[in-house]
Structure 1
C-alpha cells in the first residue's frame, strides 16, 4: 500500500470525504490518506497528525516526496489537539484504531471541534462503544459500511453533530443502524463468525468440573440469541 494505491479499507474511508474538504487525519502514520486525497484533488487542505515522532517522520517524508508540503501540514500532537480554529477543518478522519481509543480521542479533543465537522471513523473493534459516545454527544450517524480485507472485517461510521436528540435502539448501537438495513454478506459473515466464537467459549466453560460459570454461560447464550435475531 502507498498513497497511489490505498488499501481497500482506506479507499472506502477516502470515498466518504466530501469534495473540497479541509481534512484532519488523526493517527495518519505515513499520511497515505491525505496525500491520496490531495492528489485526487478531493481536498483543499490537510493535516497529518501523529502522537509519536517516528510515524510523524514517515508522514513528513511521504508528503515531501509527493511535493505537497505546502498543502498538507504535519502536526505532532495528541489526537485532536493538533486542530486549531484557523485550520477551518470540516472533516476529521480517524482510522485503524480500537473504538475505545477513537472514543477517547474524540472526548479529549472536544474543545478542538467546532461541531461542524463530518467525522469518518474506522474502528478495528469496539464499534458499539464508539456509537454510544456519538449518541451521547449528539452526533447522528449519517452512513455506515462494512468490508472484509485480508481476513479482517472493518466497519466505517460517518457521523455529523445535530441539534436534535439522537436516539438509537440497543440493536442499532450494537450492530449499526445502516448496517442492519444493508444486511450485506460481510455483515452476516461477521456475526455468524461471532456466534461460532461465543459457542466455542461456552463449550470450554462447560468442560469445567467445578465452579462452572453458569451466569456467564447464560449471558453468552443470550448474546447468541440477540445476534440470531438480526441475521
Structure 2
C-alpha cells in the first residue's frame, strides 16, 4: 500500500466520482493512492517533463495498475480528450498563477464540469479570480501546514448559481475567512511582517508605485487580522 504526505491525503478527501485526472502528477503518487484506496477506479496522471513522466510509468507498473492509470505526457490539460468524462481534476504543488494559467488554457477540456481540487503553494488569488470568471463556485477550502510550509487547498464545483467574490475574499478565501484558524493567522501575520520590512527598504521618491502597492497590501492584511482580534 502506497503512503503519501499529509497534504495529498487531504486533497484525496475531496475527490468525487470514479474518474480522476491528476495534472502535474509528481510520480503518480496521488492516482496510485486513490486507486489502491478505492476512491476512484481509473485515473490519468499527467506530466509535462519526461523524467517525472517516466518515473510515473515505473510507479504505476510497480503497483500493477497499468489498466487503471493512464500516464500521459503533455502540458496541463492537453492530456485530456475533448470529450473526456473525468469527474475530478487535481492540480497540486504549484503556484496559484500557474494553476490559473493551466485552467485558462485548458478551459475547453472542462465541458464535463469536473470538480476542481487545487492546492497552491503561493498566491491563491489568481485561482479564485479564474474560478469566479469561469462560473465555478468554491465549495470548500482548507489551509494546513506541512514541513513548516503552509498550503491552501481550494475545492470548486460547477453549480447553478454564480459566485461573486469581494476583493478580500479573492485574496484570503471566502471560506478561510470564516474559519480563521491558526494556520490562516500564522500565514498572514508572516506575510504582513514581510511586507512591512519591504516597505521600510523602499525609497518613496524612487519606488513610489511599488510602495503604494505594498501599503495597500499591508492595509488589507491588517484589516483582516484586526477583525479577527
- TM-score bucket (shorter structure): over 0.9
Relative to the length of structure 2, the TM-score reads 0.92
Aligned CA-pair RMSD: 1.7
Matched residue of 1:159: which SS? strand
Aligned to 2:215: 221
Q: 1:215 to 1:106 in 2, by over 3 A?
A: closer
What is the CA-CA distance between 1:113 and the residue it aligns to? 1.5
1:182-193 to 2 correspondences below 5 Å: 182-193=179-190
Q: Distance in 2 between matches of 1:7 and 1:74?
A: 21
Q: Distance in 2 between matches of 1:35 and 1:103?
A: 25
Q: Which structure 2 segments of 5+ residues have no match?
A: none
What is the CA-CA distance between 1:115 and the residue it aligns to? 4.0
Q: Quick check: 196-205 or 180-189, which moved more?
A: 196-205
Aligned to 2:4: 6
Matched residue of 2:215: which SS? helix
Q: Quick check: 66-75 or 161-170, which moved more?
A: 161-170
Q: 1:221 to 1:35 in 2, by over 3 A?
A: same
Q: Distance in 2 between matches of 1:127 and 1:141?
A: 12
Question: Could you list the runs of 4 or more consecutive aligned residues of structure 1 that deviate by over 6 angstroms after TM superposition?
Answer: none
Matched residue of 2:41: which SS? strand
2:174 aligned with 1:180: no
- Kindly indicate whether the alpha-carbon contact (under 8 Å) linking 2:85 and 2:112 is maintained by their aligned counterparts in 1: no
- Kindly indicate whether the alpha-carbon contact (under 8 Å) linking 1:144 and 1:155 is maintained by their aligned counterparts in 2: yes
2:121 aligned with 1:127: no
- Kindly indicate whether the alpha-carbon contact (under 8 Å) linking 2:20 and 2:89 is maintained by their aligned counterparts in 1: yes
1:49-60 to 2 correspondences below 5 Å: 49-60=46-57
Q: Distance in 2 between matches of 1:169 and 1:57?
A: 43
Q: Distance in 2 between matches of 1:137 and 1:73?
A: 28
1:45-124 to 2 correspondences below 5 Å: 45-84=42-81, 87-124=84-121
Spell out, residue by residue over 1:132-164, the C-alpha distance to the aligned partner (whole angstroms, 9 max, x if none): 011011110000000111121110000012343
Q: Which structure 1 segments of 5+ residues have no match?
A: none
Matched residue of 1:107: which SS? helix
Q: Distance in 2 between matches of 1:104 and 1:219?
A: 23
Relative to the length of structure 1, the TM-score reads 0.92
